[in-house]
Structure 1
Amino acid sequence: MDKTLEINFDGLVGPTHNYAGLAQGNLASKRHAGLISNPREAALQGLEKMKASVDAGFPQAVLPPQQRPDMGLLHCLGYRGAPEEVLPRVGSEAPELLYAACSAAAMWTANAATITPSRDTLDSRVHMTPANMQSALHRSIETAQTARTLRAIFSDERHFAHHPALPATPWFSDEGAANHTRLCAQHGGPGVHLFVHGDSAPDTLAAPKHHRPRQTLRACRALARQHGLSDQQTVFAQQHPEAIDAGVFHNDVICVGNGPVLLYHERAFFDERAVLEALRDRLAVRADGQPLIPVRVPEEAVTLEAAVASYLFNSQLLSREDGSMTLVVPGECESDESVWMTIQNLLLGGNNPISEVVVRDVKQSMRNGGGPACLRLRVVLNEAERQAMSARVMLDDALYQDLTTWVERHYRDRLTLEDLADPQLAHESLAALDELTALLKLGSIYPFQLERGAG
């Protein structure tokens, strides 16, 4: 019997993990700008989180980090030459460009792409669109590598369809699965796709006053068209402007869904009632009458500020074989009394499938504004599709040990922003990535490898 599974693809934290505070609207990123980072600890924390998921019975895979510093970006901006010439000069003349070129933000693979399972598509293939991430320079440089990586892993065109990223303009600003949630009765059954955007409703003036939305309705509709999704398979919802201004730069900072469960804050959506009604109607048609199970956290229980600070909603909601669910939250949730009481009373004590809460330490990621849900891209695959995957990316005990050893050998345990101008760091990073692609059996996917092959 074919068994369809949801696999979480977590991003491996890269060797240049740093706190440059580049993300506009991300309060944690700004608050910790300039701090000394620990790339080794960050990568090991991410791996420990993945290994814990595997040990608990949840399928888990890895995505490799991107090539950093991105010398192609610096060359494009007029800084020609080898790292020994370029990096110190950029660090002196335009440090903000150096920070962008060294950003390790691709670790947050929830932004990597939008994925539609084969169960929901017209051609019965898994459809993938890399996000254009056009709202920020340091994220926009990820798109081409994301596409190469996904094509390397999901190379069999009989099972996987790869689409180009949407045009990199404000009209089609797209930040991937962080603004997309699939609801269903079970992962192998038909689903309903909730796309969340920040555009104002045409008959209102509801718009954020302080932070720019990062996902547009035009992008959401284009993604649905690319993947062949019908009106009965989709719901388009406006994110609440007050949430965006409070630091909710992606929907996954204020809402998480899994199966028929939608865990969300009272201020997640501008028109909460309309969103819930649409989801109920679509599920009734698409999922054989499966009722939506909304789990609403009111403002009086957890304020927007507490939700953003703790990343309660940037948690992973995982299905167990018996139908119950595990909520994986960052350690910061324990530090806020209102959040922890809500978890104990409303979530665990409520009428919903959430039966377990697990706390994970991802402090290195959290200081840059990314919790457990930011670190993973959800991919639903049936058995044939899993067999068709290329590369060694499914995490098991052996791969975990290999990756841990790799990190301990190549990563620094202390990194300042000034260190990013060190050419030796660039050489260390390339050596690490060269070894990683061999370890993961990915072949040549990075620009420096492709240039070397062409030469």
Structure 2
Amino acid sequence: MTTYEVNFDGLIGPTHHYGGLSLGNLASVEHRHAASSPRRAALQGLAKMKRVADLGIPQAFFPPQPRPDLAFLQSQGFTGSTYEIISTAYKSRPDLLSIAYSASAMWTANAATVSPSSDCADGRVHFTPANLQTMPHRALETQPTTRTLRAIFHDASHFVVHDPLPALPDSSDEGAANHTRFCRDYGLPGVELFVYGRDHSDEQSAQRFPARQTRVACEEIATSHGLCSKRCVFARQHPKAIDAGVFHNDVISVGNQSLHLVHQYAFAEQDRVLAELADSFGPDLQQVVISNQELNLSDAVQSYFFNSQLISTGPNQMLLLCPIECSESAAASQLVASLLRADNPIYDCQFVDLRESMQNGGGPACLRLRVVLTEEECAAMPSSVFLTQQRYHELYDWVSRHYRERLTIDDLAEIRLHDEVAIAMHELNEMLGF
């Protein structure tokens, strides 16, 4: 039976704005309170999805989450009508209003950690929604994400959607952005790499920014998914990388099938981690270490090179889908040219314009959750979430009609925005039928 890697991208929502809410994410903080373009953001994301789908790669999407989250604002003490809640929050705590309107669920690499049926003891695909408890605006996503996953992956004979881990300091979980799976073929058992920033047994060594993922969370997910312990590798992020703005592992390494591109400062015990991966996988694993001289940490974070998508288009053939910022960075563009000349599966590189997402701290890989599925498992999902040519044009039209070209922090105070978003989301739900 054929097995696919399906990319589930987040459809960027109509309240995409630059709240600067993510400590440790340099782009997010740098663009705090700048004017955004929700329409341009969503169309850029759709264009990226279509580019992948046009390659013959199964492409699906998650809808935006409802915003604003009025229940969150009520939990913060705001009362009255919808208008009164929004107006009072804007006047007294605009930061909380920004959290309530956050569109950060678009970055579905943080939606969950996924293990395919070939890796799991019970032969089902396992999902653990991320609790995202480190950042308040992202913690709001957890329960809606869980409901969405259970609506899509509803067939219990094929899928298990676990409850998120408890939102406790020792079980902080950021999803697939800190998880990479290596395999010879998508349908064969793989080796799963879990990356964490801190361990309960020691003090956090990063000084500037918080280490978001814990080892306890990684171990609990591996256990609940029924993974073979000999095919799991646990790696600690390098504190130097975290303090340079590497808030997730997908900002400093990227892997697909038998290829691993990894920065010199990705892991604290890099030699041990790479050796353990090689031992677990076997001699076919190609690990390319990018030195700090080739691409220093600052350039890696600015260009988001490691947040590129590595896409298999054929046997031992991969396309590197990079943010357009890589073409504008001398170091990143030289690195791309070097990889294309070298002996590895990458035969081509394409650059994609995701500036609206990038300015808020997320690149191509942030926007997608990788889900390995068999044909039978794909058939057990609602077809409405797959990006067909017809669905692409429907979504393009929907975005063009409902999204604002420009949005500022001050616009969040408008009750008109609330009403626009409610109408748009109602129409989308009718379109998708779930």
TM category, shorter: over 0.9
What are the residue-to-residue correspondences of 1:100-119 with 2, within 5 Å? 100-119=99-118
Counterpart in 1 of 2:129? 130
Q: Deviations over 1:274-317 (max 9, x none)?
A: 01111111113xxxxx5211011110111000000000000100
Cα distance, 1:391 vs structure 2? 4.7
CA–CA separation in structure 2 for the residues paired with 1:174 and 1:113:
9
Aligned partners of 2:418 and 2:88: how far apart in 1? 14
The one-letter amino acid of 2:241's match is: A
Residue 301 of structure 1 is matched in structure 2 by: 294
Structure 2 equivalent of residue 167 of structure 1: 166
Q: In structure 2, how many angstroms separate the alpha carbons of the residues matched to 1:78 and 1:342?
A: 51
Corresponding residue number in structure 2 for 1:70 = 69
Cα deviation for residue 81 of structure 1 reads 2.7
**Deviation at 1:205?**
7.3
What is aligned with 2:265? 267
Q: Distance in 2 between matches of 1:213 and 1:387?
A: 39
Contact 1:391 1:441 in 2 (8 A): no
Q: What's the offset of the Cα at 1:200?
A: 5.6
Letter in 1 for 2:393: Q
In the TM superposition, residue 80 of structure 1 has moved relative to its aligned partner by 2.0
Does 1:34 find its partner at 2:52? no
- Cα RMSD of the aligned pairs, angstroms, is 1.2
Mapped pair 1:15 → 2:18: no
Contact 1:12 1:65 in 2 (8 A): yes
The one-letter code sitting in structure 1 at the alignment partner of 2:426 is: D
- How far does residue 206 in structure 1 lie from its aligned partner after superposition? 7.5
- Which residue pairs with 2:404 in the alignment? 412
Equivalent residue number for residue 350 of structure 1? 342
8 Å CA contact 1:180, 1:194 repeated in 2: yes
* Cα distance between partner residues in 1 of 2:203 and 2:46: 44
1:334 aligns with 2:327: yes
- Deviation of 1:76 after TM superposition, in Å, equals 1.6
> Unaligned regions of 5+ residues in structure 1, if any?
285-289, 443-455
Would the alpha carbon gap of residues 112 and 106 (structure 1) be closer, same or farther in structure 2, given more than 3 Å must change? same
Compute the displacement of 1:268 (Å): 0.5
Tell me how far 1:322 sits from its aligned partner: 3.1
Moved more, 311-320 or 348-357: 348-357
Contact 1:201 1:238 in 2 (8 A): no
**Structure 2 residue 358 is matched with structure 1 residue 359:** no
Kept after mapping to 2: 8 A contact 1:40/1:408 = yes
Amino acid at match of 1:194: L
Equivalent residues in 2 for 1:365-384, closer than 5 Å: 365-384=357-376
Structure 2 counterpart of 1:277, from 252, 275, 296: 275
The 3-state SS of whatever aligns with 2:182 is: strand
Q: How far off is 1:230 after superposition? A: 2.2
Number of positions where the alignment pairs a residue of Structure 1 with one of Structure 2: 434
Q: Pick from 320, 327, 331 the counterpart of residue 313 of structure 2.
A: 320
What is the CA deviation profile of residues 38-88 of structure 1, one whole-angstrom value per residue up to 9, with x for unaligned ones?
000000000000001111222111110111110111112221233211111
TM-score, normalised to structure 2, is 0.98
Counterpart of 1:344 in structure 2: which amino acid?
A: A
- How far apart in 2 are the matches of 1:419 and 1:196? 38
Provide the rounded CA distance (Å) in 2 between the counterparts of 1:137 and 1:107.
Answer: 16
Give 3-state SS (helix, strand or coil) of 2:386's partner: coil
The answer to which of 349-358 and 237-246 deviates more is 349-358
Q: Which runs of 5+ in 2 are unaligned?
A: none
The reply to whether residue 390 of structure 1 matches residue 416 of structure 2 is no
In the alignment, residue 249 of structure 1 is paired with which amino acid? F
Corresponding position of 2:423: 431
Alpha carbons 1:265, 1:297 under 8 Å: kept? yes
Q: Tell me the SS of whatever aligns to 1:122.
A: coil
Whole-angstrom distance in 2 between the partners of 1:253 and 1:130: 20
**Which whole-Å CA distance do the structure 2 matches of 1:408 and 1:234 have between them?**
44
Counterpart of 1:276 in 2: which secondary structure?
Answer: helix
Deviations 1:319-355 (CA, angstroms, capped at 9, x unpaired): 112321001000000111111011101x111121111
What residue number does 1:451 align with?
Answer: none
Amino acid across the alignment from 2:290: V
Following the alignment from structure 1 to structure 2, what is the Cα–Cα distance between the partners of residues 201 and 71? 34
1:93/1:315 CA distance change after superposition, 3 Å: same
Among all aligned residue pairs of Structure 1 and Structure 2, give the percentage whose two residues are the same amino acid: 50
Distance 1:165 1:206 in 2: 23
Quote the residue 2:84 is aligned against. 85
DSSP-derived class of the 2:369 partner:
strand
Is the alpha carbon distance of 1:391 and 1:150 closer, same or farther for their aligned partners in structure 2, counting shifts above 3 Å? farther
Indicate if the aligned counterparts of 2:184 and 2:190 stay in contact, CA closer than 8 A: yes
TM-score if structure 1 supplies the norm length? 0.94
After the TM superposition, list the runs of 4 or more consecutive aligned residues in structure 1 that deviate by more than 6 angstroms: none
* Shift in CA distance, 421/391, structure 1 to aligned 2, threshold 3 Å: farther
SS at match of 1:380: strand
State the partner residue of 1:212. 210
